[in-house]
Chains A and B, each alone.
Chain A
Amino acid sequence: MTQPMPQFPRPLPQIDRDHAEWWAGLRRQELLVQECLRCRKQLFPPEPLCPHCHSPEMGWRRSSGIGKVYSWVIVRRPSHPWFADKVPYAVVVVEMQEGFRVVGSIDCPIEKLRDGLPVEAGFEDVDERVTLLRFRVAV
């Protein structure tokens, strides 16, 4: 580790009680989607109870991790100092096979990004607590 500590750390999520299980899933390399145990509707982002039937009995389903690029941005002027030496970088919105969408980074040259690009979820541990989604182009 010869790299100096960056002056600004990477922005990170606050993990609260209603969403701790979702982040715990990423740490286990599982992409989870919340599912209502009563009406079986899928929900993302998670809520403290089901907005469709108001059941408090909510469970989790493990996603296949397979999806398609739905939209993206290529950031060329950084807004946060941690990203200053990372531009240009892409952020993708991926529609998973199960129908819900998530945001992630992607290992793909920015000029190759396109609507519907098949991808699969990868997982990147960024500290002792947080794991983030990093998609790969599916082969």
Chain B
Amino acid sequence: MSGSLRRKAAIVGIGATEFSANSGRSERRLAVEAVLAALDDAGLRADDVNGIVNSDYDDTNQLDVINALGLRNIRAYATIPHGGGSPCGTVAQAAMMVASGVCSCVVAYRSLNERSGHRYGSSDAVPTFPWVYGLHAPYGLIVPGEWTAVHARRRMIEFGETREQWAAVPVTFRAHANRNPQAMQYRKPLTREEYLNAPMLAEPLCRYDYCLETDGAVAYVVTSAERARALKSVPAYIHAAVQGTAFPVWYQTNWYRENFTTGTEVVATAGHLWKESGLTPRDIDVAQIYDHFAPLVLTSLEDFGFCAKGEAGAFIGDGRIGLGGELPLNTAGGLLSEGYIHGWNLILEGVRQIRGTSTAQVEDVEFSLVTSCWGAPTSAVIFSR
């Protein structure tokens, strides 16, 4: 484990605003509310913070957070690129900032009014598209749901997969959300029949295959393993946190590479993850798999090595991914049913599973996996208790 980050740092605080369709306040305000909640959860103060990390898609500048909270001791800051690929990469960054000794307390945040403000599924005002997007946008292949439908159709062609098989993902995640009062879909059950009878949006995808659109913010606090033991919260040790990518890679629009149904960047990330952690997929007790679209959960499971390519349709059946199953997934409801904080809320649930405080708590969790977006330069983290 030379050069490894293994268990050198821990997440000691998590915070979130409510997840809603209309927050009624600015993204800046949401960001600082989440940061303060995370610090409070850790028993730390704003003056303790000396590192700050966010995602390139965040419209809340780090200066906004520094100014709103009156932070005076910042000595390292980083912004991690590639949108939904970035969340677990921010954990890797924060762990490196702490393990290097440069920082003793790093906060990371993600804030967005994605429902009441700029909606990622809308393209109304865009007149021209740069290079690779220009190759498909003029034909009406413009937003992520339309791109993903092409991928999902190819899964059907290559693997004989069906919507009956995909149904396990949205229906199971919804059942988990129905236990989580924080989830946007807390009081809205979803049956398999509702899923199968839903009208197509970008065929073969229906609305239940799409993640939610959410206003809200989340934040977390990282400190060193030594300091973590002195704090009031149960530390979620960062056992491994990695980023990875590989040629050829674009954002979910990679119709051109040799293998359509494998994410070279995800396979690369998984390789780093298992090597750095010294673990295998069998060691994972619970996982939060980035679920921007239901069929991509299947592709992610394959690319992370939980089953062979083409076998995820069968793998997710028989209750395996539900509470009480062999590999419970997205136990707070995921991006499909808890809320879409661009993958960052999955990190918080990964931590809660280590703490034993999830509303869909898995028994005796030793290793909790979180992954970021399939189809972009991506990242993953394993927390250990």
Residues of A within 8 A of B (CB): 8-16, 18-19, 44-45, 51, 70-81, 83, 86, 88-89, 91, 93, 100-105, 115, 126, 130, 132-133
Residue on A with the closest CB to B199?
A: A76
Asked if B325 CB lies within 8 Å of chain A CBs, one says no
B150 touches A91 (CB 8 A): yes
Partner of B140, one of A15, A91, A93: A91
How far in angstroms is the closest Cβ of chain A from B144? 9
Q: Which residues of A contact B157 (CB under 8 A)?
A: 71, 115
Asked if B121 CB lies within 8 Å of chain A CBs, one says yes
Q: Which residues of A contact B248 (CB under 8 A)?
A: 51
The stretch of B77-85, B125-133, B330-338, B346-354 in contact with A is: B125-133
Please report which residues of chain B, range 220-272, place their CB below 8 angstroms from some CB of chain A when the two chains form the complex.
247-248, 255-256, 260
Q: Which residues of A contact B150 (CB under 8 A)?
A: 71-73, 91, 93
A76 touches B140 (CB 8 A): no
A11 touches B154 (CB 8 A): no
Asked if B149 CB lies within 8 Å of chain A CBs, one says yes
Residue on A with the closest CB to B121?
A: A79
Complex CA–CA separation, A130 to B138 (angstroms)? 10
A79 touches B255 (CB 8 A): no
B138 touches A71 (CB 8 A): no
Partner of A126, one of B138, B143, B145, B200: B138
Residues of B within 8 A of A (CB): 121-124, 126-143, 145-146, 149-151, 153-154, 157, 199-203, 247-248, 255-256, 260
B255 touches A19 (CB 8 A): no
Q: Which residues of B contact A83 (CB under 8 A)?
A: 140
A132 touches B203 (CB 8 A): no
Partner of B128, one of A12, A78, A132: A12
Q: A14-B131, A19-B131 are in contact. List 16 more A-B contacts (CB 8 A).
A: A11-B123, A12-B128, A13-B137, A14-B129, A14-B134, A15-B134, A73-B141, A74-B149, A75-B149, A75-B202, A77-B201, A79-B122, A79-B146, A80-B143, A91-B150, A105-B140
Q: Which residues of B contact A77 (CB under 8 A)?
A: 201-202
Question: Which of B121, B134, B140, B247 has the largest number of chain A CB atoms within 10 A?
Answer: B140
How far in angstroms is the closest Cβ of chain A from B136? 4
